[in-house]
Amino acid sequence: MTTSSPTVAVLGLGRMGAAMARRLTEQGWAVTGWTRSSGAAPGPVVRDADVVVLALFDGPACEHVVERCAADLTPGTVVVNTTTAGPGEAVALEKTVVATGATYVHAPVMGSTPAVRVGTLRVLVGTSAPDLGPAGPLIADLGEAIRVGGVAEAAALKLVSNGALGGGILALRDARQYAADLGVDEETALDVLERGALGRLVEGKRGQRAPAQFTAAALAKDLALLAAETPSARTAAGRVAGPVDSGAVAPDADVFALTAPIGAEVPEEVLAPLHAYARGHATGDASHFRAAFLPTAHIEGLRDGRFVSWDLDEYCGLFPGRPAHDERERRRRIETVRVEGTVGTATMTLWHGPDTFTDMFLLLRGEDGWRIANKVYDRR
């Protein structure tokens, strides 16, 4: 099907798709765009294209669009998918496309709209096809092609890359929290951090724009994909998703909005029982626990290898009414808070002498505000 002047169909005209369409047009490609919100079928656009570029939100969106236009794909057509999707999703999409006789290239990108505009995207290229055909020069006009193997490898490496970004965002959040806890002026702290390992992220935070270049919801989606593949990413995924789910960070906000310390992200009424719980540990005064928990709450975990389940009265009876002798050295930090309507979850880390506790809470909003309904913990 390829002619001397290849034609391109860009399916998905959101922030990235529209930027790619503009870039390719400027580079001399004959580009036709299509968006899901138009209500029109993608088939007519796909039928006349040598290269079909997918620039959609996630794997399920790609699956839906490809199924709608599969009958219009022909041998010689190359489908280039720039969407961030899971490895399994990429493999399934390749199978669907190849069954039509077309070629599938999984090509998630590293970079955002500024890189698109100047052609400096880094494109992770994965395919089982021996030849990229017209997709080769198209990718070159978008940026640098990095061949990484098959489609699953390309999808996986994009998740690894965004996992590293998420880790950096959380590291900057933690650093800002440390500065706040220590009473350090934030701008001074950012000046110092900008000269260290987090320098580029601090520059990004200070230069964040509206509309966002990469949204908080998109990063949360990508880390959820990563967490589905590897359990080691689950904590980071939860810490990123929490502020978005709770409404503390708008889904379409720039990812750097996620660097705000946890206290700045979550409504104070949600944090109130967690703060009361921390005060109970700090003072040994059980009245703080009664303010934090519902009267029906249970606290459960393993103590000396034995399962324990305390009701609130039994739990309060464990505290002597005075601070621990080493309270000055003890630390506590809220790690995640997620809210769904009238319920929520939270995690907290407590460093108490030689022991580190991970507490996980179920939160409930009732007539008296937010309270802890139940707690489970791990001690190590």
The pLDDT tens digits of the residues spanning 85-94 come to: 999 999 999 9
Picking from 293, 265, 306, the residue whose alpha carbon sits closest to that of residue 359 is 293
**pLDDT tens profile 161-187:** 999 999 999 999 999 988 988 889 989
**242 and 174 together in one domain:** yes
215 and 117 in a common domain:
no
- 175 and 126, same structural domain? no
Question: Is there a domain that residue 141 lies in?
Answer: yes
Q: How many domains does the chain have?
A: 3
The 10s digit of each residue's pLDDT in 85-120 is: 999 999 999 999 999 999 999 999 999 999 999 999
Classify 41 as helix, strand or coil. Answer: coil
Residues contacting residue 149 through CB under 8 Å, at least 6 positions apart: 126
How many whole angstroms separate alpha carbon 18 and alpha carbon 93? 22
CATH of the domain at 358: 3.10.450.50
Please state the pTM of the whole predicted model. Answer: 0.74
257 & 273 share domain: no
Of the residues 95, 128, 149, the one at which a domain ends: 149
Q: Are 277 and 373 in contact (CB under 8 A)?
A: no
CATH number (domain holding residue 230): 1.10.1040.10
Domain stops at, among 265, 289, 317? 265
Look at residue 95 and tell me if it is in a domain.
Answer: yes
Task: With respect to residue 1, please indicate whether it lies within any of the assigned structural domains.
Answer: no
Tens of pLDDT, residues 4-50: 578 999 999 999 999 999 999 999 999 999 998 888 999 999 998 99
Burial class (CB within 10 angstroms; exposed 0-12, middle 13-18, buried 19+) of 313:
exposed
Give the domain extent around 298. 268-379
For residues 218 and 185, membership in a common domain is answered with yes
Is it the case that residue 142 has pLDDT exceeding 80? Answer: yes
Domain co-membership, 273 together with 307: yes
Residues 132 and 144 in one domain: yes
